[in-house]
Structure 1
Amino acid sequence: MALAYQPRSEESLSDYYGEEDVIDELFNNENNDVEEEEGENLFGDDMERDYRPQPEFDVYSWSDMDDASDIQELSASAGQAAEREMAQRDHLLDDDALFYEEGDDDQASDFE
């Protein structure tokens, strides 16, 4: 003969544990204080230290600049050709292009 589970009433639990413990357990309000870990404080006064001026680092490097070269502006047709070339490149990187070839438009539309 198996014994049936009989949950304890709130009154019997409060007699056994104390009323506040029962409420904390019922509502999962257990006091799980986690001790503050050692480490870098990312907030407060220490945070502002990251944004202090650093003149030695706040300078652009001119070593890779090439202002001496004479670069001509693109004509409208050359710009359009460059745009077409970039669009073709982007199409090759497109997820659909990885699975389907140019003539497979009818198969690709089945999944849209």
Structure 2
Amino acid sequence: MVFDFMDEKEYQRKFLNLKILKGIQDYLKSAEDSDAALDSDSAVYPIKVPQELLYQLVKLQGAEGADEAIHRIFRLGLTFWSERLFEESFGTAESLKIFIELVKSRNKD
């Protein structure tokens, strides 16, 4: 098995990354389904964006359109970042599947 010689620290790191990836997956899916679903998620304030970007978006699309554009930009960045996290943590879908089986077997014990 790929993860037979994993120490506890590495296991915990991968497990936390798996939880992060699952949360991102759920967030992105809910964002696709409805922007109203985003209202139930946590918010971090303030988010810094280039002033000129925000100014021009508001000027062109209004406040609501600018907000939607910022959310789209954030989701694109989150998608890219999560893909990198997946690659660094698991590398392949097969490795992820094996790790999930390891988690399941540990939870049974």
Q: TM-score range by the shorter chain?
A: under 0.3
**TM, length-normalised to structure 2:** 0.23
- RCO greater where, 1 or 2, for CA within 8 Å and sep 6 or more? 2
Higher helix share: 2
Report the structure number with the largest CA radius of gyration. Answer: 1
